[in-house]
Chains A and B, each alone.
Chain A
Amino acid sequence: MHRYILSFIFLLCFSVFAISQNEHEPQNGGQPAGEQPANMEEQHGDPGVIDHQAHGEASHDAGCGEQAEHEFDPGATAFHHIADQNIYSIGPWSLPLPCFLYAPDHGWSVFSSGKFHADAHGNGHVAIDKYVLVEGMVQRIADPSFPDGEVEVAHHPYFQKVKKEDGSEKEAAFICYESKLYPAEDRSTADGGLFGGGITSFYDFSLTKNVTSMIFIFALLSWMFLSIAKAYKTRDGMAPKGVQGFIEPIFLFIQDEVAKPFLGHKWEQYLPFLMALFFFILGLNLFGQIPFLGGSNVSGNLAVTMVLAIITFLVVNLSGNKNYWEHILWMPGVPAWVKVILTPVELLGVFIKPMTLMLRLFANITAGHMVMVIFVSLIFVFSNNGLNVGAGYGTAVGSTLLTLFMMTIELLVAFIQAFVFTILTASYIGAATEEAHH
Chain B
Amino acid sequence: MIFLIDFTPIKPDFGLIFWTTIIFLIFWLMIGKFAFRPIAAALKKRESDIQGSLDEAKRVRQEMANLKAENEALLVQAREERAHILKEAKDAGNKLVEEAKIKAKEEAQKIVASAKEQIENQKMAAITDLKNQVGAISLEIAEKVIRKELKGNAEHEAFVNGLVKEIKLN
Identify the A interface with B (CB < 8 A).
26, 30, 67, 70, 72-73, 75-77, 79-80, 82-84, 100, 121, 134-135, 137, 156-157, 159, 171, 173, 186-191, 195-197, 203-208, 210-211, 214-215, 218, 221-222, 225-226, 228-229, 232-233, 236-237, 248, 251-252, 255, 268, 271-273, 275-277, 280, 297, 300-304, 306-308, 311, 362, 366
Contacts and interface: CB of A to CB of B under 8 A. Distances in A.
Contacts of B32: 271-273, 275-276
Given A73-B3, A76-B3, A83-B8, A304 B16 contact: yes
A171 B6 CA distance: 8
B42 A190 contact: no
A67 B1 CA distance: 11
Interface in B1-37: 1-21, 23-28, 30-37
Contact of B8 (A79, A121, A236, A268): A79
Given A30-B1, A159-B2, A189 B13 contact: yes
A302 B12 contact: yes
B15 A187 contact: yes
Contact of B31 (A134, A191, A276): A276
4 closest A-B pairs by CB: A272-B32, A225-B35, A232-B42, A76-B3
A381 B54 CA distance: 65
Given A228-B35, A280-B24, A189 B14 contact: yes
B42 A70 contact: no
Most B-side CB within 10 Å, residue of A134, A157, A272: A272
A70 B16 contact: no
Interface of B: 1-21, 23-28, 30-40, 42-43, 46, 49
Contact of B42 (A191, A210, A226, A233): A233
A207 B25 CA distance: 17
Contacts of B16: 84, 208, 210-211, 301, 303-304
A255 B40 contact: yes
Contacts of B11: 189-191, 195-197, 302
B63 to A, nearest CB: 24
B27 to A, nearest CB: 5
Contacts of A237: 46, 49
A301 B9 contact: yes
B28 A272 contact: yes
Contacts of B15: 100, 187, 203-206, 208, 211
A146 B17 CA distance: 30
Contact of A226 (B31, B37, B43): B31
Nearest to A236: B42
A254 to B, nearest CB: 10
Contacts of B39: 225, 228-229, 232, 251
Contacts of B24: 276, 280, 307-308, 311
B142 to A, nearest CB: 132
A89 to B, nearest CB: 14
Contacts of A214: 19-20, 23
Given A186-B6, A311-B24, 5 more contacts: A73-B5, A190-B11, A218-B23, A275-B31, A280-B24
Contact of B36 (A135, A211, A236, A276): A276
A215 B34 CA distance: 18
A205 B35 contact: no
B36 A271 contact: yes
Contacts of B14: 187-190, 203-205
A83 B35 CA distance: 33
7 contacts: A73-B5, A80-B3, A188-B13, A225-B39, A273-B32, A297-B9, A306-B17
Nearest to A67: B2
Contacts of B43: 232, 248, 251-252, 255
B9 to A, nearest CB: 5
Contact of B10 (A215, A221, A302, A307): A302
Contacts of B4: 76, 79-80, 134-135, 159, 171, 173
